[in-house]
Chain A
Amino acid sequence: GQNIDQPTEMTATEGAIVQINCTYQTSGFNGLFWYQQHAGEAPTFLSYNVLDGLEEKGRFSSFLSRSKGYSYLLLKELQMKDSASYLCAVKDGAGKSTFGDGTTLTVKP
């Protein structure tokens, strides 16, 4: 089975940088995803990591260390619209993805 841990809540200030961590234990590993979910809406894809290292996409970056079972999502130049839940999901060798419970980020002015 798979176990995914991420903080429940985080608060940050508009314009700042925030890092959301995710640790996982999985039987087989075939990639890690980050999704953003605004209240009342569906999750939307943010990033994908399958190799160690940093993937940068605009204000958002995601890092993976497979040996440590660890990933983080880095959000720069925070905007009010970034207030949302951020879900870490790990895909196992059989193609099944398991989602973490999500981190609710609140951006304050």
Chain B
Amino acid sequence: DAGVIQSPRHEVTEMGQEVTLRCKPISGHNSLFWYRQTMMRGLELLIYFNNNVPIDDSGMPEDRFSAKMPNASFSTLKIQPSEPRDSAVYFCASSSNRASQETQYFGPGTRLLVL
């Protein structure tokens, strides 16, 4: 299996621009998680989906952030408009809640820099 796939791996954009991050979970996994990691705040859960349905989006910072999961093999995290404080590494992770322990497998992350 290729593991969790994220694109792009790096993104540099200017304040005010729209940013779209993409994730393909591991085939067969039915839970998907979006995290943000910074030095100041550590690893924060933004939102997670179970069977393509958003379960908990309490970690989404504000209305500028939105996430979708149109099918079991694809999810997007969109920031519009982007701000310099959004600069971080964004990880997507997937797991299977059919497994006893539901280990989360992380993608390589998208390193976002907003100028």
CB pair B56–A102 under 8 Å, yes or no, is no
Which of these, B35, B104, B108, contacts A45 with CB under 8 Å? B104
How many angstroms between the C-alpha atoms of A96 and B45 in the bound complex? 9
Residue A93 CB within 8 A of the other chain: no
The answer to whether the Cβ of B71 comes within 8 Å of any Cβ in the partner chain is no
- With a CB–CB cut-off of 8 A, which chain B residues contact A94? 55-56
Partner among A44, A95, A98, A102 whose Cβ is within 8 Å of the Cβ of B102 = A95
Whether A60 is near chain B, meaning CB under 8 Å from some CB there, is no
Q: Is the CB of B103 within 8 A of A33?
A: yes
With A33-B103, A42-B108, A45-B104: A95-B97 Cβ-Cβ less than 8 Å: yes
> In the complex, A100 Cα to B107 Cα: how many Å?
19
The residue in chain B whose Cβ has the minimal distance to the Cβ of A50 is B101
Question: Helix, strand, loop or mixed for chain A's interface?
Answer: loop
Main SS class of interface, B: strand
Does A101 interact with chain B (Cβ within 8 Å)? yes
Is the beta-carbon distance between A48 and B101 smaller than 8 angstroms? yes
Question: Across the two chains, which residue of chain B brings its CB closest to A49?
Answer: B101
Most B CB within 10 A of own CB, among A31, A97, A98: A97
Residues of A within 8 A of B (CB): 31, 33, 41-45, 48, 50, 87, 91, 94-102
By Cβ-Cβ distance, the 3 closest A-B pairs, closest first, are A42-B106, A101-B42, A99-B43
Contacts A/B (CB < 8 Å), 24 sampled: A31-B102, A33-B104, A41-B108, A42-B106, A42-B107, A42-B108, A43-B106, A44-B106, A45-B103, A48-B103, A50-B101, A87-B43, A95-B31, A95-B55, A96-B45, A97-B33, A97-B45, A97-B104, A98-B45, A99-B42, A99-B43, A101-B42, A102-B42, A102-B43
